[in-house]
Amino acid sequence: MKKILFIFGTRPEAIKLAPVINNMYFSKKIQPIVCVTAQHREMLDQVLNIFSIIPKYDLDIMKKNQSLFDITANSLVSIKKVIENELPDMLIVQGDTTTTFVGALSGFYKKVAVAHVEAGLRTFNKLNPYPEEINRVLTAQLADLHFAPTKTSYDNLIREGVNKKRVFITGNTVIDAFLYISKKLKLVPLKDKKMILVTSHRRESFGKKIRNICFALKEIAQKYQDWQLIYPVHLNPNIQKPVKEIISGMSNIKLLAPLDYIEFVKLMHQAYLILTDSGGVQEEAPAIGKPVLVMRDDTERHESIESGNARLVGTDRRKIVEEVSELIEDKKKYREMCRIAKPYGEGEASKKIIDIIERFNFQ
């Protein structure tokens, strides 16, 4: 039986790899081994608990106010020891975090085959998202198998010179996880749907952009006082400080600690619309027909825009307020964004990935 070493460190990676890991336990050909860097500690642990995943290796690298240099250097040295101890036949990374890139680089250094889940996403702007765009471009150069969620991602990789025999369109594993959790929910319909769900945490938004977002939320709350905004606030102090400074204490803005994935999925189902800079939310929301306003300057989830479920609104205060106001006041425009779409697959991505790995020619 071949050893497959999973390396991940953040909540989104854990959500998207959980279906692959748990389904792989049923394989008679490959054996999953889990290593977490804990690039994000508390938020990662929530997901591990929900999906009953117990890492064999927990590198626990997180420290207060860690920099990209800290994450990169500490992960690289620690992963080297894990690979030397396990001697895996393949290493799997997901997405575009610093752990993703370092995991792929570690596999390359130790001459272990690398598989990249959610490969081929691009904005073609190396600073947006930062550092994710470069992480995934570099990971593509290191990987041996590329699991592209969509045809667009597949095409991006082929244009970059990746061997098409090593690229597979699988759908996105986040849909597997999202649908699995959604089926388990006991949803209590809200008496009215006057709730807007907000998430904003991206590194490239630190500073002026997150302040613009907060001032937009404040204006929306003041303009629509019978609406409630719910905002689970990321633990990073670069997000916590402006959020508390600008919108803390407003009666119709509820600031929450980061929610576990089950509670967050429940809020997605109950929300009227979602304001976000999250990549995962852009993928999940179309599956249940939820309108999404993307508070970023660029997005690599073009399929969500093309499906009509999402709009790119940037971080300009006025633009955010205008777009939210339109969806609250123009019911026709709102309904146009409520159609269910599944550009990222039907929830079978993890099974496709496992089947491909089982057939991989390990040398």
Residues 135 and 239 in one domain: no
Structure tokens at 202: 């991206």
Does a structural domain hold residue 76? yes
CA-CA distance, 72 to 16, in Å (whole number)?
Answer: 21
3-state secondary structure of 357: helix
Cα end-to-end distance, the chain, whole Å: 14
Q: Look at residue 301 in the predicted model and tell me its pLDDT.
A: 95
Q: Look at residue 191 in the predicted model and tell me its pLDDT.
A: 62
Mean pLDDT, each 10-residue run in order, the chain (363 residues) = 97 97 97 95 93 97 90 96 98 98 98 98 94 97 98 98 98 97 81 86 92 98 97 93 96 95 95 96 96 96 95 97 98 96 96 97 83
Residues 164 and 193 in one domain: no
Indicate left, alpha or beta for 178 from its phi (over 0: left) and psi (-120 to 50: alpha). alpha
Does a structural domain hold residue 178? no
How many structural domains compose the chain? 2
pTM given for the model: 0.94
Residues 56 and 124 in one domain: yes
**Catalytic residue ranges:** 96, 118, 132, 201, 203, 234
Task: Residue 100: give the domain boundaries.
Answer: 2-171+348-358
Say which CATH number the domain at 250 has.
3.40.50.2000
Residues 107 and 206 in one domain: no
Residues 61 and 205 in one domain: no
Q: Look at residue 109 in the predicted model and tell me its pLDDT.
A: 98
Residues 133 and 225 in one domain: no
Residues 328 and 353 in one domain: no
Residues 150 and 218 in one domain: no
